Amino acid sequence: MSSPQDSSTQQASTQQAALVAILEALVDPLLQRPWQELAAVESVSIVAGQCQVVIGLPYPWLSVEADLRRRVEAAVAPHLQGATLTLELVSRIPETTARANVAALQGVKNVIAVASGKGGVGKSTTTVNLALAMAQLGARVGILDADIYGPSQGMMLGVPSGTRPQQINDNTMAPIDVHGVQAMSMSFLIDERQPMVWRGPMASGALQQLMTQTQWQDLDYLFVDMPPGTGDIQLTLAQKMPVAGAVVVTTPQDIALLDAQKGIEMFRKVEIPVLGVVENMSLHRCTQCGHEEHIFGEGGGERIATEYQTQLLGSLPLTLKIRQQADSGQPTVIADPDSSEAGHYRAIALKVALALIGQATPAMPVFSVSDD
């Protein structure tokens, strides 16, 4: 004959199993895949009238937290039987498997190259704002300024001139922490007015040292601000770095699109997936009268994304304040986080994180159900 305690335990187990089934059937609002397929339901326990649920998601979720909580609460509320729900959301950013003959980067899960076929399209400004936006979404983020000849990330991040990284030992140095991200740039190691009169192999070697001798600390994403162009240096860097995916920045202008195509072709040549295209300076809105004008053309980013079977991650406006904020060391997502421009950057960053999931190898969490 079973005791009341045994009956209570059996009832709790049955209730927990039912909750697990309900949660696993929920379709992720961003990935459009059931949570069972994503192994997102990490634990469900009912103890002393408290129902504790842990959901692990493969992307930074802060921007959609309210929606996720509403979905879970609506799904399980009819089945709580008087228990109080405590929901914990955690990020389990998967790590991309390194390509053959390319070593993984210690302390970094995913390396994202931000590139352009030519200079002057706002690649560095886009890089710094995307990295900071990803950090605002809840990820651990770093920035590597790979533009050896014209490093600009130090100024854009507001790092005081003369700041030097801390030397850890003979072979490693600590990145500089600024605005909640880890950063490394050649500008931290040399006088900012010193020209880098190096040939390609020297520049490539210097960048590889920056990348591998920086002691990155548990990064989900490392954004690499690539040098503009598609020459030997860019090709060497793409081959040597464990790049998970690339973001190509362009303007709608026809000549910029031609160069962006070359950038996409370069990444395809070295078998690096292009996560998408960012169309910068797509629209100018007059601050005085509100008139809108496509100064550099219209729809170019969408056309090139369609041609290469990738996605248009987003279109960014041509505005004076984006340039001013970057030049002042307070990029847009830091200086004006509630602006529409900052919202665009966060939306693009989230799309990048979602696009990477298809390239990564997720770590399977240990699922547990507890009733004690």
Residue 279 near residue 316, CB atoms below 8 Å: yes
Q: Six-digit token pair at 344?
A: 């665009």
Residue numbers belonging to the annotated binding site for ATP:
117-124
What are the beta bridge partners of residue 87?
A: 53
- Which residues in the chain belong to E strands, given as ranges? 41-47, 50-57, 84-91, 108-115, 141-145, 176-178, 181-185, 219-225, 243-250, 274-279, 284-285, 292-293, 312-315, 368-370
Contacts (Cβ under 8 Å, ≥6 apart) of 133: 333, 342, 345, 346, 348, 349
Handedness of CA 265, 266, 268, 269 (dihedral sign): positive
Q: If we measure between CA atoms, which residue out of 195, 229, 203 comes closest to residue 119?
A: 229
DSSP string, 181-245: EEEEEGGGTS-TT------HHHHHHHHHHHHHSB---SEEEEEEEPPSS-SHHHHHHHHHS-EEE
Contacts (Cβ under 8 Å, ≥6 apart) of 176: 159, 163, 165, 182, 183, 184, 188
Residue numbers belonging to the annotated binding site:
117-124
Integer Cα distance of 244 and 25 in angstroms: 30
Angle at CA of residue 243, ends 156 and 311, nearest 5°? 80
